[in-house]
Amino acid sequence: MEGFICPECKESFQTAGLLENHFNSHFEGPSIKSLLTKAKDYTLSWISNEEESAGQQVGSGSSGSGSSTPNLRQEHRQPFSEDQPIGRATNLTKVFRAVRPKRISHSQKEANKLHLRLDKLVSALLSEIRAGKKNLKEVEKSVIPWNDDSDVCVGCGEILSVLQLARKHHCRLCTGVLCSTCSRFVPLQEAVDAVERPQPEWLADFEHSLRLCDKCQNVIASAKEEIKTKNSDHTMEENYRKLLEAKGKCDSLVAVYTGISQSLRNGEATYTLDEGNVKRVELIKQFKIVDTFSERIAGIRTNSPTQLKVQNNVRAATRSYLQEHLPTTAPLPELREIHELQKRRLEESRIAIQAQKQEALRTQNPSPSPPTDKVGSHFVAVEPQPAVRDGWSTKSKKTEISQDIAREKARDTRVRGGESAGWTGEAVQPQSRGHPLLEQKEILRGYLRQAIRDNRQEEIDTLKQNLHMILDEIRSLGLEDT
């Protein structure tokens, strides 16, 4: 009795699957393992169903916002699904690009407006203060009329009115209504700095601050930041970056130019003299650019000694770099010289070709020693393949003959081993003289050793293959593998 037999009821089934189903349903009790498997299957299928429906929701866009239950479920499921697949994605770059410039220009306009207002305000205040006016609030109010329509704080949205305890204030720039907690105060000195006006000496100990909203305070802060960057020495970094860029260009140009100049000096006709000269001018220009940047870096004024040191070092490094590479821009030979060089080269190549022809003629005539060497060893190395493929037993006689030839060749090689550059004979030393196959195996092993010693990967691979085939043959013939 053989086949897919149930071990319990000895019933025979067509396939392993049927048997397993039968066995599991009839004899596999409700073991913990099977229960777990079932539970796992169930959970997995449930999760995949959920995921499917979730995917559909995403696919249908924002229409799912109507009912709240799916959202709840999704939220509930979140901790389980760590990497949720990305749903449908919409590319909004175009919209973004369309909207962005408008927004930027708008905010720029606003900022500019505020900046102008600040300028106006500051100048009025300064003149009024010099005139000795005390009620600066009135001055501010007169320069920029306050917006009194609203009773709502622009900062926190609280309703403010004269009747309430919280007093109504105004931002001095945007004129928006402010509560006391949302008011920011910027000293007049800072405001003067922000509009780039000279600070009068008497202002130093004058106490007055502008009441501003958050937004307008930021405008002043950013204006100050801008002025700071304009005046500061950030140019160092920028210049150094440009210097490196120019150096990189230089390097690639140097490589190209040297190639051209060498080729021209060799009398080759790959490039023309004009091409070379154009490249040369380009290269020299690039070197000048490098020099300028390094000069600029060195010329940056600074108070920090470390930065000064760095600047000087940069300049020195660039100088040595230029000194090293300038010789490559040596002028190219003149046209006349080039022609001469080319002529000479033509002559030389003609001679070389003639010599090669003669050489070829000589090699066609029989010159026995070097070629046989090669052919012989090659023959031995490759010979076993056909023999094995044909099947040893059927064509043994023929192969034995070829084996004999191979052996002779091998001996030949062995004799000449010293002078041959390829396979040397030392490896070809058949140890077991019993069966030609065994002998062949030894020969192959020798070659393999040699190939491994010389690190010739391709040969190692082919030799290994051959050896395996031989070994298989030996095994199938039942020869003792010693």
Partner 1 sequence: MSGRPRQNGPAQAKALQFKLVLLGESAVGKSSLVLRFVKGQFHEYQETTIGAAFLTQTVTVDGVTVKFEIWDTAGQERYHSLAPMYYRGAQAAIIVYDITNRDTFERAKSWVKELDRQARKDIVIALAGNKFDLSNKRMVEVEEGSAYAQEHNLIFMETSAKTGDNVSNVFVEIAKMLPKVEPKPNNNGQTVRIDDNQEAQNGGGPGCCSKN
Q: Which residues contact partner 1 by CB under 8 A?
A: 1-7, 10, 16, 19-20, 23
Which candidate, 107, 125, 139, 106, places its Cα nearest to that of 195? 125
Min CB(40)–partner 1 separation in Å: 18
Instruction: Give whichever of 8 and 237 is closer to partner 1, judged by the CB atom.
Output: 8
Strands (E), 374-447: none
Q: Which residue carries 């490559």 as its tokens?
A: 328
Min CB(467)–partner 1 separation in Å: 20
Q: Assess contact for 196 and 227: CB atoms under 8 A.
A: yes
Q: Assess contact for 210 and 185: CB atoms under 8 A.
A: yes
Instruction: Give whichever of 33 and 301 is closer to partner 1, judged by the CB atom.
Output: 33
Min CB(37)–partner 1 separation in Å: 14
Min CB(23)–partner 1 separation in Å: 5
Min CB(27)–partner 1 separation in Å: 8
Min CB(478)–partner 1 separation in Å: 10
Residue type, 101: P
Instruction: Give whichever of 38 and 350 is closer to partner 1, judged by the CB atom.
Output: 38
Instruction: Give whichever of 15 and 262 is closer to partner 1, judged by the CB atom.
Output: 15
| DSSP 3-state of 143 | helix
User: What span, in angstroms and rounded, lies between the C-alpha atoms of 39 and 45?
Assistant: 10
Which candidate, 412, 418, 423, places its Cα nearest to that of 454? 423
Instruction: Give whichever of 4 and 321 is closer to partner 1, judged by the CB atom.
Output: 4
Q: Assess contact for 416 and 440: CB atoms under 8 A.
A: no
User: What span, in angstroms and rounded, lies between the C-alpha atoms of 171 and 220?
Assistant: 13
Min CB(475)–partner 1 separation in Å: 10
Could you tell me how far CA 252 lies from the centroid of its own chain?
21
Instruction: Give whichever of 10 and 94 is closer to partner 1, judged by the CB atom.
Output: 10
Which candidate, 312, 291, 286, places its Cα nearest to that of 300? 312
Min CB(417)–partner 1 separation in Å: 37
Which candidate, 420, 466, 472, places its Cα nearest to that of 445? 466
Instruction: Give whichever of 6 and 308 is closer to partner 1, judged by the CB atom.
Output: 6
Enclosing H/E stretch for 343:
helix 335-364
31, 35, 41, 45: CA torsion to nearest 10 = 160
Instruction: Give whichever of 26 and 344 is closer to partner 1, judged by the CB atom.
Output: 26
